[in-house]
Structure 1
Amino acid sequence: MFREMRRKKQLLSEEETREIMKVHSSGVLAVTGDDGYPYTVPISYTYADGILYFHCAKEGHKIDAIMRNDKVSFCVIDKDEVIQETFTTHFRSVVAFGRARILTEDSDRRVALESLVEKYSPDYIQEGQKEIKKDWERVCLVEVKIEHMTGKAAIEIVKNKE
């Protein structure tokens, strides 16, 4: 169903790929936007066990697109170092494909919000609980179940690891 990476030597291990997804605070979500145009938007997210969560407004381009077509792609850039003298970039990145759904069950919404608080404000869990309660009715939460995910690194990075 999903294409294999052409440059297999540059494929990151599953462990490295998952770690990149866990440690970063932002990535770019791609959806099928208006009139079939791709629409990409940077988002803050949390990731664990093949599930990505993010929050957003209840209305807008992103939500409209997800309601029309739940297939999404997500990208996280771990490293992006331009090497001028060799006309290349030393990079590490992850691309994930999955299905998005807007969470409606209170228990699912709470899990998503608490995971966001734990990631972004681990020293303010109690305050985060108050924020969750305050914004409960206003916030939209989305879950993306990852179906396929690969990480890739520049060949120079791969060779340095060997």
Structure 2
Amino acid sequence: MFRKLRRIRQALSTSDCAAILKKGTSGVLTLSGDDGYPYAVPLSYVYDGSALYFHGAKAGHKLDAIRRDCRASFCVIDQDQIIPEKYTTYFRSVIVFGRMRILEEGTEKRAAIEKLAARYSPDEDEAARQSEIDREYSRLCMMALSIEHMTGKQAIELVRDQGEK
């Protein structure tokens, strides 16, 4: 169902892909938008080892697209260093494929927003985070991307550098 990476030497391991998702703070979610056009939207996220979680408003293009077709991809760029003298970039990125779900009221939605809050406000004390979540909860939509396939790739120059170490 999913294509194999053509340049296999440049493939990142599953553990490297997971590390990039853990470290990253934003990426681009791509859905099937209006009239068959792709819809790509940059989002902050949190990764828990098996799914990605996002937050947003309770209405809009993103939710309409998810309700129409839940299949999605999400791309995180870990590195993009321009090397002008070589006419290239030293890149490292991960693409996740899966299905989106809108999390309804309840424990799953609450757990997702708590993960996101802890990720982006790690130094905030628990009571303050809970207070902010309580204040925004009724206006908040949480979404999950269940991972079906994940692939990562890096520039061949980075592969060569790793081989020399």
Please give the TM-score of this superposition, normalised by the length of structure 1: 0.98
Alignment of 1:132-143 (within 5 A): 132-143=133-144
Deviation at residue 105 of structure 1 after TM alignment: 4.0
The percentage of aligned residue pairs carrying the same residue is 52
1:49-64 correspondence to structure 2 within 5 Å? 49-64=49-64
What stretches of structure 1 of length at least 5 have no aligned partner? none
- What's 1:9 paired with? 9
1:32 CA displacement: 0.3
Letter in structure 2 aligned against 1:69: D
Measure, in 2, the Cα distance between the counterparts of 1:70 and 1:59. Answer: 16
Tell me the amino acid that sits aligned with residue 137 of structure 1: S
Structure 1 stretches of 4+ moved >6 Å: none
The secondary structure found in structure 2 opposite 1:19 is: helix
CA offset at residue 126 of structure 1?
Answer: 2.0
Q: How does 1:23-38 map to 2 (within 5 A)?
A: 23-38=23-38
Q: What's the RMSD between the two structures over aligned residues? A: 0.7
CA distance in 2, matches of 1:128, 1:55: 15
- SS for the counterpart of 2:138 is coil
For residue 126 of structure 1, what is the aligned residue in structure 2? 127
1:95 aligns with 2:95: yes
Letter in 1 for 2:110: R
| Deviation at residue 128 of structure 1 after TM alignment | 1.2
Q: Which runs of 5+ in 2 are unaligned?
A: none
